[in-house]
Amino acid sequence: MKKHAFALGGAGLMLGVSLMAISAQELTGELPDPPEFAAQSEPVFVSVGDMLEFKALPEYHEPDWVTSKYVEAGTLPPVAERLPKEPLVFKTGNMPDGIGVYGDTMRHVIGGRPEGWNYIGGQSQGWGGIDIGLSECLTRNGPLFQIKAEELEPLPNLAKSWEWSEDGHELTMHLIEGAKWSDGDPFDSEDLMFYWEDNVNDPNVSAVPSGTGTPERFGVGTTLEAIDEYTVKWTFEEVRPTQYLYAMAYDSFCPGPSHILKPQHPKYNPDNTYQEYKNAFPPEFMNMPVMGAWVPVEYRADDIIVMRRNPYYWKVDENGNQLPYLNEMHYRLSTWADRDVQAVAGSGDFANLEQAESFVESLKRSAEDSAPARLQFGARTIGYALRMNLSANGWGEPDARGQAVRELNRELDFRKAVSIAVDRQRLGDSLVRGPFTAIYPGGLYAGTTYYDKASTVYYPYNLEAANALLDGLGLTDTDGNGIRNFPADKAGGADVEITLLANTDYGTDTNLAEGVIAMMEPLGIRVIANFQTGTARDDMAQSGQFDWGVERQGAEMVSVVQGTTTLAPVGPRTHTFHKAGTDGTVDLLPFEQELVDVVNKFIASSDTTERAELMKQYQKLFTENVYSVGLTQYPGALIINKRFANIPAGAPIFQFNWAEDSVMRERLFVPEDKQGDYELHPETLPGEPGGAGPV
Ligand code: GLA
């Protein structure tokens, strides 16, 4: 194994400090404030009604070539017939550069690879905004960064409006009426019910690639029923849990095309296995019907995915121009690091600059006047933690060694020892020097709405005390090889060896993981890298096949309102590193039960003061108990080529969702005099599902 720069040489156990000497109090320390780092632009805060509304307009328009080549040729109905009764209308006043013009391409570069197009069945398309662009969801969160705080509520999207029953248990949602999938098939409540009943609630399906499509994401005991084609009714055990409206956005309630998927699902097609259902639409299957603005029309393995405009897209501008303005989307299948390089150089158009190792170089090049892209830093919302598998009742089916590790993971003194053996300052500096990284004790990120420093318990770096804590747990080096051993009755008293799962698609993930591995050496713990590419890592993490993992965390740590049910194991499959074991229950530690109670109260409450108070309790419980070992947090920068117009001010790369959602790509455009010649399939539209490509 490669020795990391952090290795201190040998694994000498420091046994000098007796356990008596280290009370919890003595381990805590003053948390330094993050270095000053101002976000480079602020959003213009508006109300939802300033951004969009649903209404019929007197006339509609489309690119001229669509009319002449398709509508006039009789192969496509006129635009007014393709649009819903009341399309979603983006208000001009909220569009920074106003009404746009048609044309051009956004050239994305992504590091992931598509497994196939069955998104709701759990297949990943490779991330980087590709699935965000294909899937439209009941509500929408990304653009909320510009909604006034006191009016914060998910944006309507496929659900154009909703109302609560008087007793607050029922939520009736009205779907957009007369909208169509990109192949012209009607979108209606059948699509929702197929997603809910046969994916979310079918235990054989791990719905959506992140695995968050579980019933409890919407509350234990929640039901959904179709009232008619365009009306559905939710029933909740809680009273008015408006919180679940956030879960109805990306990525947990974005229905798939039931007319194509249903015939492959084992319930409707007994000849198919669940695996066959999941894999029924491989990357080569072109023209997969979507509700998103662009449809996949070309795929070349390890090269590119090309998408063309969806002729049935159901959003327009105030002049009645059918969106999107951009005719084509590219997703170059490369690496995440290459995304930054290409965006800065101008051969790509978009990057979330999130790997701290590339900050300095990217900043330098973007500062030049001739730089093709603008680079804008936001708040510190990128954070990494070391997460331990806390299930001791079989999740992921560990062997004897794995089981012994999980039992250790469940010991507070063990988690504390690991936490204080991490020199966070050095870890952050090893990625990038300067005012970027901040010491991150775990829990909510400093600088976000619900963060409270006074409720944050920080255990600073203290190697000696870390070793003493491990001594206290009876982990001694019985065979003198420099590695502590499990007690004789655990894993046969073998060396304490722990595997660390990390994602090789990102340099930052593996750099941090290597840092952690090296920092565990002086503790006499052998940590073995289990480095996997993104999809394999995700599958292993979701199925509990890991001891430890170093991971970039989700939006719940930033916004709290997004992914709330992932904050604690409120249901059997809602949490990231503690899911139900073989008997279907989660073996909660006492403090986890408290976390669950706090999160459930948060979900059930709409009282701002109470919610803030609850999140203070959450932060305290989390950090005091080292629920996960925070590593570092830092800001990210949005890089977009300068030729694009309508980029909202202050768009963060990650807040309520990734920037690919927040910037609202369907209303971005390129002014005519700046348009490039990048379209690979000019003047074509997507063809038949499964067909060869555009026509
Ligand atoms: C990946 C990238 C992020 C973002 C998301 C979108 O995770 O690392 O920057 O593009 O995909 O899903």
The b-or-e profile of 516-534 (16+ CB within 10 A means b, else e) is: bbbbbbbbbbbbebbbbeb
Say yes or no to pLDDT of 461 above 70.
yes
**pLDDT at 10 (0 to 100):** 38
Q: Quick check: 94 and 51 in contact, CB under 8 A?
A: yes
Percent of the chain with pLDDT over 70: 97
pLDDT in tens, 617-665: 999 999 999 999 999 999 999 999 999 999 999 999 999 999 999 999 9
**pLDDT at 152 (0 to 100):** 95
174 CA from centroid of ligand 1 (Å): 31
Is any atom of ligand 1 closer than 6 Å to the C-beta of 569?
Answer: no
**The pTM is what?**
0.95
* Secondary structure (DSSP) of 588-657: --HHHHHHHHHHHHHHH---HHHHHHHHHHHHHHHHHTTSSEEEEEE--EEEEETT-B-PPTT--SBSSS
Residue range 377-397: mean pLDDT, rounded: 97
Q: Quick check: 25 and 125 in contact, CB under 8 A?
A: no
Say yes or no to pLDDT of 211 above 60.
yes
Q: Is 164 helix (H, G, I), strand (E, B) or coil?
A: strand
Is any atom of ligand 1 closer than 6 Å to the C-beta of 654?
Answer: no
Say yes or no to pLDDT of 15 above 70.
no
Is any atom of ligand 1 closer than 6 Å to the C-beta of 129?
Answer: yes
**pLDDT at 37 (0 to 100):** 83
As a whole number of angstroms, the distance between CA 485 and CA 404 comes to 11
As a whole number of angstroms, the distance between CA 319 and CA 416 comes to 60
**pLDDT at 251 (0 to 100):** 96
Say yes or no to pLDDT of 357 above 80.
yes
Say yes or no to pLDDT of 18 above 90.
no
End-to-end CA distance of the chain: give it in Å, rounded: 52
pLDDT in tens, 529-539: 999 999 999 99
Say yes or no to pLDDT of 4 above 90.
no
Domains identified in the chain and CATH numbers: 48-352+638-673 (3.40.190.10), 386-634 (3.10.105.10)
Residue nearest ligand 1's atom 8 by CA: 128
Q: Quick check: 426 and 637 in contact, CB under 8 A?
A: no
Q: How confident is the model at residue 21 (pLDDT cuts 50, 70, 90)?
A: low
Q: Put the strands of the sheet holding 88-90 in their side by side order.
A: 52-54, 88-90, 315-317
Q: What is the CA radius of gyration of the chain?
A: 26
Q: How confident is the model at residue 39 (pLDDT cuts 50, 70, 90)?
A: confident
Q: Quick check: 211 and 579 in contact, CB under 8 A?
A: no
What phi and psi values does residue 147 have, to the nearest 5 degrees? -90, 135
Residue 585: which residues within 8 A CB-CB, separation 6 or more?
A: 393, 572
Say yes or no to pLDDT of 191 above 80.
yes
**pLDDT at 208 (0 to 100):** 97
323 CA from centroid of ligand 1 (Å): 24
Average pLDDT value for the chain? 95
495 CA from centroid of ligand 1 (Å): 38
Q: How confident is the model at residue 59 (pLDDT cuts 50, 70, 90)?
A: very high
Is any atom of ligand 1 closer than 6 Å to the C-beta of 127?
Answer: yes
Residue 128: which residues within 8 A CB-CB, separation 6 or more?
A: 108, 109, 110, 111, 112, 331, 336, 339, 660
Helical (H) or strand (E) element with 161: strand 159-164
Q: Quick check: 434 and 616 in contact, CB under 8 A?
A: no
Q: Quick check: 296 and 266 in contact, CB under 8 A?
A: no
Burial bucket for residue 290 (CB in 10 Å: 0-12, 13-18, 19+)? buried
Region of residue 387 (left: phi > 0; alpha: psi -120 to 50; beta: else): beta
Say yes or no to pLDDT of 8 above 80.
no
Say yes or no to pLDDT of 17 above 80.
no
pLDDT in tens, 95-136: 999 999 999 999 999 999 999 999 999 999 999 999 999 999
pLDDT in tens, 672-689: 999 999 999 999 999 999
Neighbours of 27 (CB within 10 A): 19
Q: How confident is the model at residue 16 (pLDDT cuts 50, 70, 90)?
A: very low
**pLDDT at 40 (0 to 100):** 81
As a whole number of angstroms, the distance between CA 680 and CA 305 comes to 11
As a whole number of angstroms, the distance between CA 70 and CA 86 comes to 23
Is any atom of ligand 1 closer than 6 Å to the C-beta of 336?
Answer: yes
Percent of the chain with pLDDT over 90: 95
Say yes or no to pLDDT of 24 above 80.
no
Considering Cα of 547, then 548, then 552, then 553, what sign does the dihedral take? positive
Residue type, position 528, single letter: I
Residue nearest ligand 1's atom 9 by CA: 352
Residue type, position 18, single letter: S
Ligand 1 pocket, mutate which of 362, 552, 655, 660 (most atoms under 8 A from CB) = 660
As a whole number of angstroms, the distance between CA 235 and CA 122 comes to 25
Say yes or no to pLDDT of 9 above 60.
no
Q: Quick check: 90 and 315 in contact, CB under 8 A?
A: yes
Say yes or no to pLDDT of 203 above 80.
yes
114 CA from centroid of ligand 1 (Å): 14
Neighbours of 184 (CB within 10 A): 12
457 CA from centroid of ligand 1 (Å): 30
As a whole number of angstroms, the distance between CA 121 and CA 258 comes to 11
Residue nearest ligand 1's atom 2 by CA: 128
* Secondary structure (DSSP) of 94-152: GSTT-S-----EEEEEESS----S-TTTT----STTHHHHH---SEE-GGGGGB-GGG-
- Which of 649, 632, 451 minimizes the C-alpha distance to 556? 451
As a whole number of angstroms, the distance between CA 676 and CA 326 comes to 11
**pLDDT at 447 (0 to 100):** 87
Q: Quick check: 363 and 375 in contact, CB under 8 A?
A: yes
As a whole number of angstroms, the distance between CA 197 and CA 278 comes to 16
Ligand 1 pocket, mutate which of 329, 352, 355, 661 (most atoms under 8 A from CB) = 352
**pLDDT at 38 (0 to 100):** 78
653 CA from centroid of ligand 1 (Å): 9
Q: How confident is the model at residue 36 (pLDDT cuts 50, 70, 90)?
A: confident
